[in-house]
Amino acid sequence: MTRLLWICLGGAVGTGARYLLSGWLLRVAPPGFPYGTLAVNVIGSFLLALLLQVPLTAESLPPTLRLALTTGVMGGFTTYSTFNQETLSFLRGDAPLVGFTYLGITLASCLLAGALGIWCGRLLTT
């Protein structure tokens, strides 16, 4: 039960962070493209990969903290379901080029960010 509470608390932190970052980008980025969701997914891909890599090579994170950070914080922070809906909306609407561009940028950026997270995690533990 304690782990569940830590995961829920982490989810609240991740959700709050997603809201703040997306809201800030909505104010400062040009309209017409979901920069907030893209940023959250790229940053989330990097951080989740980093958090999952570090404990594999060093016992630096207790299991409960690891769950709270990965399942809780990162689960609340990342927004794949929003990304999916936004992409489908572009594809079904009058902006299929924007939809495919968003899909490609998200896929490439998140894969790159995840690989970078693994690399950084290995650097931190060697």
- 22-45, pLDDT tens digit by residue? 999 999 999 999 999 999 999 999
Asked whether the predicted pLDDT for residue 64 surpasses 80, the reply is yes
Q: Taking residues 70-80, what's their average pLDDT?
A: 90
Q: What is the pTM of this model?
A: 0.81
Residue 111 near residue 49, CB atoms below 8 Å = no
Element (H, E) at 43: helix 35-57
| pLDDT for the residue 66 | 85
| pLDDT for the residue 100 | 97
CA distance 8 to 99: 33
Asked whether the predicted pLDDT for residue 48 surpasses 80, the reply is yes
Residue 74 near residue 17, CB atoms below 8 Å = no
Asked whether the predicted pLDDT for residue 54 surpasses 80, the reply is no
The two three-digit tokens of residue 46, written as one number: 């990097």
| pLDDT for the residue 60 | 73
CA distance 32 to 25: 12
Asked whether the predicted pLDDT for residue 57 surpasses 70, the reply is no
Tens digits of per-residue pLDDT, 89-114?
999 999 999 999 999 999 999 999 99
| pLDDT for the residue 81 | 80
The two three-digit tokens of residue 112, written as one number: 């790159």
| pLDDT for the residue 56 | 63
Residue 104 near residue 43, CB atoms below 8 Å = no
